Structure 1
Amino acid sequence: MSETPIANPVNPAANTGNSADPKPTKRAWVVLGILCFVYILNFLDRQLLAILAKPIQDTLNISDTQLGLITGLYFAFFYCFIAIPVGWLADRTHRVGILSLACGIWSAATLACGLAKSYPQLVIARMTVGFGEAGGVPPSYAIITDYFPKGNRGRALSIFNLGPPIGAALGIAFGAAIAAAFSWRMAFIVLGGIGIVTAIGVALFVKEPPRGAFDKVSDQERQEKAKFWETLKMFFSRKSLMLAALGSGSTQFITYGLGNFTTLYLMRDKGMTLSEVALWYSLIVGFGMGAGILVSGWAIDRFTRKSKQAYALVPAASLALAIPFYLAFVWAPTWEWSLIFLIGPMFLNYFYLSSSVALVQEEVKPNQRVMSGALLLLVMNFIGLGLGPTYVGAASDFFRADFPENSLQIALFTLTPFYVFAIILFLWLAKVLKKESEDAAAAV
């Protein structure tokens, strides 16, 4: 069976025959920049409702529980489960086309959020945002993996994963600034319009790369269409993939539970204004989270060359270091001290992301990458995005009867045990990866 690489006009380095050290092309970096911008819009639109929670609550008279549901479970239900058939379709068809269509859908739905006159209308628009965003990230993972050779993917995926911190920071800065100057509705309308234009740009300027061009697979494997049930069974039967997904989900329970209520917490409990949030909180998110994701990508590429266990040990160590900073952030008596301590969790909480994504993309066949990425997102986002904010909102309302002045603070304190749970799962993953490496070495 032939293993000669197919001609690759998108990545000429793959055609040279020098498979020892292929390099990403200039086009690859341009495409990465475009996909990162799409991810910025993806995350910006996703976080905008949480950022503008206070004025939306005041306008539509919704409770913390309702806010947790609309930013968490209602959104995640469509976002997580629609991603599976979308991922399967993308593995068999045109990934760039699906990404462009998805961007158009979620952007139009974001615009509709700004037009909502009631909580049910906002729920419908929000769920449609989740439907569209289901086709955003998994195809991008696979496109990037086929533009960048092994040894460069951790760095490339970490740059792509700057989408969340940049999107969150811009959402805080511009979303809060627009809301303060005009209204929260205008923020949704403006950002939705930008997304629709971007969707057209993706279709025009991003070329579909050949599947598996940098991977040692046969021509037949490259051309083979992924089977839905086979990919599903493969993912859920691989202990390493499931532990990566569960460890990531436990971490996201913290990051989304915290992130979707931080603005409300800082404004309601600490006395910050929208203008102060737009400046100071956006800087903490942008630089803290962004630096953490960039450093994590460098660490993954560096340490996984020596041992595959680094995919698990790097996020486990970062989460252990984050715990005291997180407790100090929730405890701090003023918003100034809270933001100073928040730098720690913002930097350390996100090492898991590039690590888990890179592990999954490396471990599966090229024609299973989009659906495998979607399955990773299904598990970690249903746990984290679906249940994290829902839990924090319900806990805040539960504690309000006895602690009316600081119920949200107590709810945030109760997220701490999930740090420990996530660390245990990543340490378990490290043990599994070590055994897999030993078994592979013994089989040679």
Structure 2
Amino acid sequence: MPQATVLDGSAAGAVPRGARRNAAIGLITLSLFTGTAARYALSPMQELVSADLGLGNHQIALLQGMALALPILLISIPLGRLVDRTNRARLMIVLALACTAGSVLCALAQNFATAFVARMLVAGSVVAAQPAALSLVADLCEPSRRGRMITLTSLGQVAGSTVAYILAGMLLPWIPTALPAGSALAALAPWRVVLLMFAAVVLATAIAMLWMREPQRREAGADSGGELRVALRALWAYRRFLLPLIGGLVAVGMADAAAAIWAVPVLTRHFHQTPADFGVWMGLLNLGSGVVGAVLGGFSADLGLRRKGRAGVLLGAVVATALSVPTALFPLMPDVAWFGVALALLLTCGGCANIAATSAIMVVLPNELRGICVSLVIAAGGMAAYGVAPLLVSVAAQLFGGGKDILIPLSCVGLLTSIAASAAFVRAMRVAGEVNPRETK
């Protein structure tokens, strides 16, 4: 059975210090930054891609949603075991190379099927890197600093999505005038060239990651011997805590994913904005909400741990999801300014809740169960958030408005999932301090 996690920093294995530790965390953050940028590069350009490839609402929902959910659902459990038992630094390099290949394939796609496979490769590799990154960071710092260090890696992802929006908005009108006439790149649509540029940056990051070495694993409990069924049985001992926690994370993911995927179509169709109009401010909105949400989530987790023990880690998640309920109505705002304010608040609350809940996993569970647990969370959350939530919006729009109006369906999905997330985190917080790792009933 799993043993309680050591929280005082006295676990076996010295924590790397100084420049080597900082450089390793910096490389991990850089990898998440470039991968996330490649993943989100398509988002501000999705209406251009839709027109170029002749896609409808359902296909956009699949391309931006299900293409992410399917690979995570398929590989999450074996990936979690790889994270817990193999060289995580090398695993991140392989995933970066897969992201590069997927970006290139998407840039050259001529139909929906090819683009879908390419997006599966990109999105799957980027999200799959998260458990490895979190596990590495946990072994590079003391338990009392993990909330802040997880915040740092989250900021890398936030910055990646921000850069994707800003650069796409800037590059799309610039590329046709900058490329030499008659060159191979000049013959491509500008959105394709943008994707190729992001692919090159991810490849450079994969090369840089060759420098990083695998840190020693710390705070290990009972060894599962590499057997999946043993690891899952060990996780089941934490079910009173994990089931509501995962439910909350899934609900938060659904609200945020639906908002992120359909915000651009709302801006384009209802507010008549173009990528050049909203690229910069949407990028800054993502940056601001992501930074503030991550910082609040990380510091609330560390402060809650010091003040109220393990249950206090989730206080930020409970408050954030309660505040996100009214902001889920952002599609119904009367103008672009209020639309942006409400969307920023919704994403800020989602980021805070995610960091706080992820920190709780890193604090409560022993080392050898963190990777598999985070992978299961990503699988469940990814399928619900990207496989279900975007399609809920498009299907509801088709049923009740002929597919033209997505404002009410998008608002309803955000409202209901935010309420569910708040209730789930309240339950997880109540039982977090009472978790008995030897419980098997």
Structure 2 residue identity aligned to 1:310:
G
Partner residue, 2:408 = 410
Shift of 1:123: 1.0
**Shift of residue 6 of structure 1?**
5.2
Which one-letter code corresponds to 1:322 in the other structure?
S
User: Do structure 1's residue 150 and structure 2's residue 157 form an aligned pair?
Assistant: no
* Cα RMSD (Å): 2.2
**Does the 8 Å CA contact 2:146/2:359 hold for their aligned counterparts?**
yes
Question: Contact 1:231 / 1:372 at 8 angstroms: preserved in 2?
Answer: no
Q: For residues 324 and 249 of structure 2, what CA distance do their matches in structure 1 show?
A: 15
Q: Which residue of 2 aligns with 1:233?
A: 233
Residues 251, 5 of structure 1: CA spacing in aligned structure 2 closer, same or farther, 3 A cutoff?
A: closer
Deviation at 1:231, TM superposition (A): 1.4
Task: Give the counterpart of 1:194 among 201, 226, 244.
Answer: 201
Give, in angstroms, the shift of residue 225 of structure 1. 4.6
Query: 8 Å contact 1:64–1:396 — kept in the other structure?
Result: no
Alignment of 1:357-396 (within 5 A): 357-396=358-397
**Kept after mapping to 2: 8 A contact 1:98/1:135:** no
The equivalent of 1:16 in structure 2 is none
Counterpart Cα distance in 2 of 1:178 and 1:211:
43
Q: Is the 8 A contact 2:13 2:217 kept in 1?
A: no
Q: Does 1:171 align with 2:164?
A: yes
The equivalences for 1:134-149 within 5 A come to: 134-149=127-142
With the length of structure 1 as denominator, give the TM-score of the two structures: 0.87
Answer with 156-165 or 43-52: which moved more. Answer: 43-52
Per-residue CA distance 1:120-145 (angstroms, 9 max, x = gap): 11011112224433541111111000
Conserved in 2, the CA contact under 8 Å of 1:256 and 1:389?
yes
For 1:4-34, what per-residue CA distance to the aligned partner results, in whole angstroms no more than 9, with x for missing partners? 96564xx35xxxxxxxxxxx53322222221
Cα distance per residue 1:146-194 (max 9 Å; x no partner): 0011110001001111133212111111123223333111111110111
How do 1:98-117 and structure 2 match up within 5 A?
98-117=91-110
Shift of residue 86, structure 1, vs aligned partner: 1.9
8 Å CA contact retained: 1:68, 1:391: no
Residues 163-312 of structure 1: matches in 2 within 5 Å? 163-182=156-175, 183-203=190-210, 205-212=211-218, 215=219, 225-237=225-237, 238-307=239-308, 308-312=310-314
Does the 8 Å CA contact 1:111/1:190 hold for their aligned counterparts?
no
Distance 2:46 2:288 in 1: 23
SS of equivalent to 1:349 = helix
Give the aligned residue type for 1:256: A
Query: How far apart are the structure 2 equivalents of 1:45 and 1:126?
Result: 10
> How many residues of Structure 1 are paired with residues of Structure 2 in the alignment?
412
Hey, what's the Cα distance between the residues in 2 that align with 1:114 and 1:397?
29
Deviations 1:272-325 (A, max 9, x none): 121121111111111122111112101110112122222333212112112223
- Partner of 1:414, secondary structure, is helix
Matched-pair contact (CA < 8 Å) for 1:284–1:339:
yes
- The match for 2:125 among 132, 141, 154 is 132
SS at 1:102 equivalent: helix
The residue identity in structure 2 corresponding to 1:28 is: R
Shift of residue 426 of structure 1?
Answer: 0.7
Structure 1 pair 30–268 and aligned structure 2 pair: CA distance change class (3 A): same
- Is the contact between residue 310 and residue 430 of structure 1 (CA under 8 Å) also seen in structure 2? yes
Deviations along 1:73-119, whole A, 9 cap, x unmatched? 23211023312212212322211001111111112111210100111
Alignment-mate amino acid for residue 235 of structure 1: L
Tell me, in whole angstroms, the C-alpha distance in 1 between the residues paired with 2:316 and 2:226. Answer: 31
TM-score, structure 2 normalization: 0.88
| Cα distance, 1:163–1:245 mapped onto 2, change above 3 Å | farther
**SS across alignment from 2:306:** coil
Question: What is the SS of the residue equivalent to 1:435?
Answer: coil
Among the aligned pairs, what percent are the same residue?
A: 19
The equivalent of 2:321 in structure 1 is 319
Given that 2:168 and 2:275 are in contact with CA atoms closer than 8 Å, whether structure 1 keeps it comes out as no
* 1:90 to 1:313, Cα distance in 2 relative to 1, 3 A: closer
Deviation of 1:341 (Å):
2.8
User: Which residue identity lines up with residue 33 of structure 2 in the other structure?
Assistant: I
Give the direction of change, closer, same or farther, for the CA distance of 1:417–1:138 in structure 2 (3 Å limit).
Answer: same
- Of stretches 157-166 and 125-134 in structure 1, the one that deviates more from structure 2 is 125-134
- Three-state SS of the structure 2 residue aligned to 1:189 is helix
Structure 2 counterpart of 1:44: 37
1:96 aligns with 2:95: no
Q: Structure 1: which 5+ residue stretches go unaligned?
A: 13-23
